[in-house]
Amino acid sequence: MIQPIQQYNINARPNFAPNPQNSIQMPSGQRNYILVDPIKVDYFVKQKENALPYLANVLAISNNEAEITENLYIVDRLLENNTKGVEKMYPVLSRFNSTTSPNIQTFLAGIYRKTQIPDAFGPLVSMLIRNSINPPSANFDPNEEIGGAILAYLSDRFRK
């Protein structure tokens, strides 16, 4: 039986900023990657399956790019930690299938690559086409991850 996750108390650490925009530093300048609060990420990763309902709730209601990116990063780390059930979050994750944010696209494609949710293939192709027509302005190319996810879908289908 999965135990409900305790509400994450952002004020538990004196150095943790309560503003979601301050708990993550988005790519900028010469840095093409995000910086996250490792203690916060570790907290959720250790919760494994118990963290999924909380993360799904945040992703379902947030419109803050930094908060969404941070939570997608946590979901990606959960997958790397062999957490089961992430594929059941697709209805929430699919909310971002039409995003133009290169940060969100990159983590979403990474999650789709690892979960191989069949319904996510079409949105990945759409993302790649949209980005080819209107290249996003970022200091990294989200199409690398999107294309890699598409190739993972295709290569796994041909191995069988």
Q: pLDDT tens for residues 19-54?
A: 444 578 888 878 888 889 999 999 999 999 999 999
Distances (CA, A) of 57 to 60, 62, 89, 129: 5, 9, 10, 29
Q: Residue 30 gets which letter from DSSP?
A: T
The pLDDT value recorded for residue 158 is: 63
Distance between CA 85 and CA 92 in Å, rounded?
13
Domain-located, residue 116: yes
pTM of the model: 0.83
Q: Domain for residue 5, yes or no?
A: no
Determine which helix (DSSP H) or strand (DSSP E) holds 25, and give its type and residue range. Answer: strand 24-25
Q: Do the domain assignments include residue 15?
A: no
A 10 A CB-CB count for 97 gives: 18
Residue 109 CB: number of other CB atoms within 10 A?
25
pLDDT score, position 8: 53
> Has residue 139 been placed in a domain?
yes
Q: How many domains does the chain have?
A: 1
Which domain does 28 fall in, by range? Answer: 20-159
User: Is 8 part of any domain?
Assistant: no
Residue 14 lies in a domain: no
Q: Is 136 exposed, middle or buried (0-12, 13-18, 19+ CB in 10 A)?
A: middle
Question: What's the chain's average pLDDT?
Answer: 86
User: How much is the pLDDT for 24?
Assistant: 85
For residue 140, what are the contacts with CB-CB under 8 A and spacing of at least 6?
27, 32, 33, 102, 106
Instruction: For residue range 88-115, list pLDDT tens digits in order.
Output: 999 999 999 999 999 999 999 999 999 9
Per-residue confidence (pLDDT) for residue 126, from 0 to 100: 96
